[in-house]
């Protein structure tokens, strides 16, 4: 299969590109900055926030291969901090990369798959797209947006033979933790005393989380399925349990549990 993945410089993207290429697929991947390239993977320099870059990337794959069988939207970034202190510029950047970056690619990808009469769209969301995470509110908002968009898209394109799958990873040990842009000044910590200990807890969970190769192995199986699922939560048992708890517990009870877990 011909597979296009966004954001393959590191983390999930790199692990998926490596695994899918090893599986024998024709893999193309986008990247923003220069990086060490994996053998057997075709690299395309493109910024998800630039419409011209997105169109050029998709067209280059189509011109070379004549089709795109699987599209994996992976490119993303995160900002952390109390929502009150998150700048509008950072909030806009968060949505532009995580949500509108996906939208830009899908505006190009869906017509191709519709004309093919088949295709598989896989979008990486997060546990934070199912549960609002304190001090990661804008990140959660961007992932909730992906969930809603893909749910609607799935209904619209199913008659064209296009499958839409959303993957919700939990805590993973990747460079995402170090690259997160976090609000940090005395005023923030004075207003929100729980912020520092909560962020430390979050980063500890991520650092001790699953390896990206674990997710890549799951994706390897998902792309081979004739009838892939709508959702795959790839996380620890405790985090999967939290998602279930959110649907069955009273909202106030669940909020209390979350406050305890995140040391608020």
Say if CB 110 and CB 62 are below 8 A apart. Answer: no
Task: Count Cα atoms within 13 angstroms, Cβ side, for 26.
Answer: 10
Burial (CB count <10 Å: 0-12, 13-18, 19+), residue 56: middle
Task: Specify the DSSP element, H or E, that contains 248.
Answer: helix 237-248
Catalytic annotation, pick one of 28, 135, 139, 195: 139
Task: Specify the DSSP element, H or E, that contains 45.
Answer: strand 41-45
Active site residue 262: no
3-class DSSP state of 78: coil
CA distance 12 to 243: 22
3-state secondary structure 85-133: HCCHHHHHHHHHHHHHHHHHHHHHHHHHHHHHCCEEEEEECCHHHCCCC
Q: For residue 31, what are the β-bridge partners? A: 45
Say if CB 65 and CB 2 are below 8 A apart. Answer: yes
Residues designated as active site: 139
């Amino acid at each position: 299969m011909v597979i296009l993945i966004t954001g393959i410089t590191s983390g999930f993207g790199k692990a998926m590109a490596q695994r899918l290429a090893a599986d024998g697929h024709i893999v193309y991947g986008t990247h923003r900055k220069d990086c060490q390239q994996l053998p057997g993977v075709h690299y395309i320099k493109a910024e998800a926030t630039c419409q011209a870059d997105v169109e050029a990337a998709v067209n280059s794959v189509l011109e070379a291969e004549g089709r795109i069988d699987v599209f994996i939207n992976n490119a993303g970034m995160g900002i952390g901090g109390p929502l009150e202190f998150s700048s509008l510029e950072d909030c806009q950047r968060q949505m532009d990369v995580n949500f509108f970056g996906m939208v830009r690619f899908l505006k190009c990808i869906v017509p191709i798959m519709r004309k093919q009469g088949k295709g598989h769209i896989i979008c990486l969301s997060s546990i934070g797209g199912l549960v609002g995470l304190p001090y990661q509110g804008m990140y959660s908002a961007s992932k909730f947006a992906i969930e809603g968009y893909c749910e609607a898209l799935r209904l619209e394109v199913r008659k064209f033979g296009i499958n839409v799958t959303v993957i919700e990873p939990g805590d993973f040990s990747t460079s995402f933790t170090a690259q997160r842009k976090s609000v940090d000044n005395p005023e923030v910590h004075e207003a929100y005393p729980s912020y520092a200990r909560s962020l430390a807890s979050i980063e500890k969970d991520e650092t001790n989380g699953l390896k990206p190769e674990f997710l890549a192995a799951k994706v390897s199986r998902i792309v081979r399925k004739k009838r892939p699922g709508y959702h795959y939560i790839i996380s620890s048992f405790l985090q999967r349990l939290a998602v279930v708890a959110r649907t069955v517990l009273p909202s106030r009870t669940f909020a209390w549990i979350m406050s305890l877990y995140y040391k608020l």
